[in-house]
Structure 1
Amino acid sequence: MYSKAQTAQLKQEFWTIFGQYIAPQLSADGLKINWVNYKTGFKHLHFRMQADQREAVIAIEMAHPDPGIQELMMEQFRTFSKLLAASTGDVWEWQLHHTDEYGKTVSLISQTLTGVSVLNKADWPALISFFKPRITALDEFWSSAQYSFELFRQG
């Protein structure tokens, strides 16, 4: 069992190592970006990577405070579901109006890797192998799809 400080330190160490590992990778548009804190350019729309003691999750998170706007965003993503699948080579889980760990209603398009722990350094290669191709594929997808989301830019 790890203390809160040890847990926080291991998580920070993992994300630092992951960030250093992926830093040389340019975006689909040929730009140098911060992969760990990926910016979509849209308020309330995030690409999230999370890892804890049991699993790793990568997600497109729609966090607009209006559930109706979240639903519209989800519908817009559904129109691009084939492009998302083609870019990533994966099937994604779609969750409309999910309650996150803070009690906030968000909508998610996600993938989960179970049976790994960010606290176990032996799992870090599996975590990196899970996150890297998916975040770069999301970037490739977003490079093409983002222009169809302009109506959500201010919201």
Structure 2
Amino acid sequence: MYTREQASQLRQAFWTAFGQYIAPHPSAEGLRINWSNYKTGIKHVYFRMRAEKKTASIGIEITHPDPEIQELFYQQFLELKLYLHETLSEEWEWELHGTNEYGETITRIYKEISPVNIFNRDDWPTLISFFKPRIIALDEFWSDAQYSFDALK
């Protein structure tokens, strides 16, 4: 078992290693990008990568405090579902109005793997291999799809 500080240091070490590994890869538009902290440019719409003790996930999270507005974003993503799945080369889970670890209502489109453990360095190559192609594909999707959300900004 790790202390809170040790766990924090291991998480930080993993995300630093991931950032260094993927940094040479430019965005779909040819720009330098902070892959670990991807900015969609739309408030309340995030591309999130999470790694914990038993699972890892990557996804699109819609966190607007108004569930009806979350649903509008979700419906817009549904319009682009085929394109998203084609770009990702796989299907993801779609969850309207789930709950996050803080009890807030969020909407997610995500892919999860298990068993993986961020605290086990032997799992890091698996985690990096999971995250890298998917965040790059999300960026490729978003470089075209973001304009479909202009009316919802």
Identify whether the pair has TM-score above 0.5, normalized to the shorter chain. Answer: yes
Compute the displacement of 1:90 (Å).
Answer: 1.1
Aligned to 2:88: 88
Give the TM-score of the pair, scaled to structure 1: 0.98
Aligned to 2:25: 25
- Residue identity in the other structure for 1:93: E
Can you list the C-alpha shifts for 1:68-89, whole angstroms capped at 9, x where unaligned?
A: 0000100100110111011110
Give unpaired runs (5+ residues) of structure 1: none
Identity %: 56
2:117 is equivalent to residue 105 of structure 1: no
Alignment size in residue pairs: 153
**Matching of residues 5-154 of structure 1 within 5 Å:** 5-153=5-153
Compute the displacement of 1:151 (Å).
Answer: 1.4
Compute the displacement of 1:2 (Å).
Answer: 1.0
Query: Per the alignment, in what secondary structure is the counterpart of residue 75 of structure 1?
Result: helix
Can you list the C-alpha shifts for 1:82-140, whole angstroms capped at 9, x where unaligned?
A: 11011110111000001100111100000001100000000000000000000000000
Which whole-Å CA distance do the structure 2 matches of 1:149 and 1:6 have between them? 40
- Residue identity in the other structure for 1:124: W
Give unpaired runs (5+ residues) of structure 2: none
Which whole-Å CA distance do the structure 1 matches of 2:29 and 2:130 have between them? 22
Which whole-Å CA distance do the structure 1 matches of 2:152 and 2:121 have between them? 39
- Residue identity in the other structure for 1:49: M
Which whole-Å CA distance do the structure 2 matches of 1:93 and 1:110 have between them? 5
Give the TM-score of the pair, scaled to structure 2: 0.99
Query: Per the alignment, in what secondary structure is the counterpart of residue 78 of structure 1?
Result: helix
Compute the displacement of 1:152 (Å).
Answer: 1.9
Which whole-Å CA distance do the structure 1 matches of 2:71 and 2:54 have between them? 29
Which whole-Å CA distance do the structure 2 matches of 1:90 and 1:25 have between them? 21
Q: CA RMSD in A?
A: 0.5
